């Protein structure tokens, strides 16, 4: 049988039609994804803000006090590996020279030199960790919280290199055996995952203030909405001089220190 021009065109046309069949079948495959209704429901109790921020008054901190650290680490199942090399920390203390290297000088008063200041993730307006994260495991929420999605973390540690405050810790070992008491309301992490302070976003969603703020008996930590001019944080920094850490880097940190 010899193919004439007419038959050839018919076959070519029919073959071309088969190319579009996947797009016809697509709706059938798409049905597999589960659509979940009612996503826009926000619990009435949840604490919300335009821009969460914290004010720290280190002068109120009694010497050697670790109440904020203990409360935070217990609530968030932070492991204690017992050596500084593997240390995982969400909120901890540093000497003045380490917290404010640019503001320090050799004649700085003894009270400041000896002071240990509570430090934590600054939840920057312009967070370098978010910019460098290749999987978007770290992201900035509309309310300013720089949050981690541990499910997506691949442990590349670019965020740790990017963060100028050392606020991020890597789990170099399986953290589970090093957690003294489990809080079942919060997950643990696995080996190879980076973690940091999350401004207690899981507690804010339930209407509870951050664990460190509630644990501080001296009220050295204040938490609230920086965009609301009548909020506690704004009242705390309105009348006094406050300093964010290493503001010159352009990260716009949202933890303010009153010194």
Partner 1 sequence: MKNKKWGLIILGLAIFVIAVTFPFWHGIGKSKPVPVLSLDTPLIAAMQNKKCVEDKAFMRANHMKMLNTWRDEAVREGHRLYTTKDGRVFEKSLTGTCIQCHSNKEQFCDRCHNYVGAKPSCFDCHVIPGEVKK
What is the nearest approach in angstroms of partner 1 to the Cβ of residue 78? 13
What is the nearest approach in angstroms of partner 1 to the Cβ of residue 34? 5
What is the nearest approach in angstroms of partner 1 to the Cβ of residue 77? 7
What is the nearest approach in angstroms of partner 1 to the Cβ of residue 116? 32
Judged by beta carbon, residue 93 or residue 198, the one nearer partner 1 is: 198
Judged by beta carbon, residue 159 or residue 221, the one nearer partner 1 is: 159
Judged by beta carbon, residue 38 or residue 109, the one nearer partner 1 is: 38
Q: Enumerate binding residues for partner 1 (CB under 8 A).
A: 33-34, 36-43, 77, 139, 141, 147, 149-151, 176-177, 182-190, 201, 205
SS3 of the chain: CCCCHHHHHHHHHHHHHHCCHHHHHHHHHHCCCCCCCCCCCCCCCCCCCCCEEEEECHHHCCCCCCHHHHHHHHHCCCCCCCCCCCCCCCEEEEEHHHHCHHHCCCCCCHHHHHCEEEEECCCCCCCHHHHHCCCCCEEECCCCCEEECHHHCCCCCHHHHHCCCCCCEECCCCCHHHCCCCCCCCCCCCCCCEECCCCCHHHHCCCCCCHHHHHCCCCCEEEEECCCCCCHHHHHHHCCCEEECCHHHCCCCCEEEEC
What is the nearest approach in angstroms of partner 1 to the Cβ of residue 32? 8
Judged by beta carbon, residue 45 or residue 114, the one nearer partner 1 is: 45
Judged by beta carbon, residue 57 or residue 143, the one nearer partner 1 is: 143
């Amino acid at each position: 049988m010899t193919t004439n021009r007419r038959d050839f065109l018919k076959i070519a046309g029919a073959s071309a039609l088969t190319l579009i069949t996947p797009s016809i079948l697509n709706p059938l495959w798409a049905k597999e994804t589960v659509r979940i209704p009612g996503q826009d429901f926000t619990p009435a109790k949840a604490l919300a803000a335009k821009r969460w921020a914290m004010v720290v008054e280190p002068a109120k901190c009694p010497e050697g006090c670790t109440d904020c650290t203990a409360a935070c680490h217990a609530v968030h199942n932070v492991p204690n590996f017992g050596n500084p090399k593997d240390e995982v920390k969400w909120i901890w203390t540093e000497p003045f020279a380490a917290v404010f290297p640019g503001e320090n000088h050799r004649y700085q008063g003894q009270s400041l030199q000896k002071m240990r200041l509570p430090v934590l993730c600054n939840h920057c307006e312009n967070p370098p960790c978010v910019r460098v994260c290749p999987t978007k495991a770290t992201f900035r929420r509309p309310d300013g919280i720089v949050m981690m999605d541990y499910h997506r973390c691949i442990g590349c540690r670019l965020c740790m290199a990017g963060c100028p405050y050392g606020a991020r810790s890597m789990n170099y070992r399986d953290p589970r055996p090093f957690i003294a008491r489990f809080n079942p309301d919060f997950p643990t992490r696995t080996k190879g995952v980076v973690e940091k302070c999350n401004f207690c976003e899981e507690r804010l969603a339930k209407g509870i203030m951050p664990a460190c703020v509630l644990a501080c008996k001296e009220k050295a930590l204040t938490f609230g909405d920086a965009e609301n001019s009548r909020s506690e944080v704004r009242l705390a920094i309105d009348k006094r001089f406050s300093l964010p850490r290493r503001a010159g880097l352009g990260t716009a940190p949202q933890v303010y220190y009153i010194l």
